[in-house]
A and B are shown apart, each in its own frame.
Chain A
């Protein structure tokens, strides 16, 4: 299953609302997770099962979707949110990741 994220790069300002899209090449129900990765660090899970917020993750992060189209929204960007974001499907093996979306400060 191929996952395609858009955009690949996103420039935004603190306080902006941003949305990242992840499209699957075939239906994966709601078996999708979102991760955040900062330079030199391991990825950190934000959202699982498409829309469930991982414990400890700020509520400004939200996820939606099912089937083949999913979104990650950050309602009001904070300085610590500038990072790279990946979606991952867990419907079947191989457990593929999207190519990533790098969120940069405008």
Chain B
């Protein structure tokens, strides 16, 4: 069974840093691109960052570029998001999601974790 379990969320002051993690199991982690998606309270979904299977390709939303770093450790089946210079508007539930790619069909996010809450407040 595919499982994605986020951890590391919490309360952090504006300007602070936090690293959240996503532990993957039930599939060959090193074969899949992965993503972070966030959702501010009462708001819609916002894609944050993506990383390819071998970490060769990394993409960020403009809203986090230069402040957030996505990474992965395939030996540990883990995905990370290092967040610095945090702002109140970064307050959100952060989800990791597996990127499923099928030749001829493109991509979609087929499995999601349960999320970890990040709150930026003084």
Residues of A in contact with B (beta carbons under 8 Å apart): 30-31, 33, 35, 37, 41-45, 48-49, 52, 54, 86, 88, 90-91, 93-100
Contact check, B106 vs A96: say whether CB atoms are below 8 A apart: no
Interface positions, chain B 23-62, Cβ under 8 Å from A, are 35, 37, 44-47, 50, 59, 61-62
Q: Which residues of A contact B105 (CB under 8 A)?
A: 48-49, 52
Q: Known: A94-B59, A94-B62. Contact between A45 and B109, CB under 8 A?
A: yes
Contact check, A97 vs B45: say whether CB atoms are below 8 A apart: yes
Decide if B107 is an interface residue (CB 8 Å cutoff). yes
Total B residues in contact with A, Cβ cutoff 8 Å: 22
Interface of B is mostly: strand
Least CB distance, B48 to chain A, in whole angstroms: 9
Contact check, B44 vs A100: say whether CB atoms are below 8 A apart: yes
Least CB distance, B23 to chain A, in whole angstroms: 15
Neighbour of A42 across the interface among B47, B59, B115, CB < 8 A: B115
Contact check, B110 vs A54: say whether CB atoms are below 8 A apart: yes
Q: Which residues of B contact A95 (CB under 8 A)?
A: 35, 47, 50
